[in-house]
Amino acid sequence: TRTAASPDWFLDWAFEEIGLQTLASYVDPRNRHSIAVAERLGACLDTGAERPDPGDLVYRHGRSNGKPLPAPA
């Protein structure tokens, strides 16, 4: 289990405490730092996800077991 001191503690909080099934990060493709953070947190690029800005990348976050959840239907 992650602790509040680790930068990704909110993932466990969102999945375990709130009960969310997935989270998404919407990132401008020019923002390499945000892409690096999403990938460091274990997110996978979701090329089929809907996005408010068609130019954004969508990174899907799954549970902390290392297995990303499928994108919602």
Question: Residues 19-47: pLDDT tens digits?
Answer: 777 888 999 999 999 999 999 888 999 99
pLDDT at 65: 47
Give the pLDDT band of residue 15 (cuts 50, 70, 90): low
Question: Would you give the DSSP letter of residue 15?
Answer: I
Indicate the helix (H) or strand (E) that contains 10: helix 9-12
CB 60 within 8 A of CB 50: no
What separation in angstroms does the CA of 60 have from each of 5, 21, 27? 23, 11, 11
CA distance 58 to 40: 15
pLDDT of 48 reads 93
Q: What is the length of the chain?
A: 73
Q: Per DSSP, what are the bridge partners of residue 26?
A: 58
Full-model pTM: 0.68
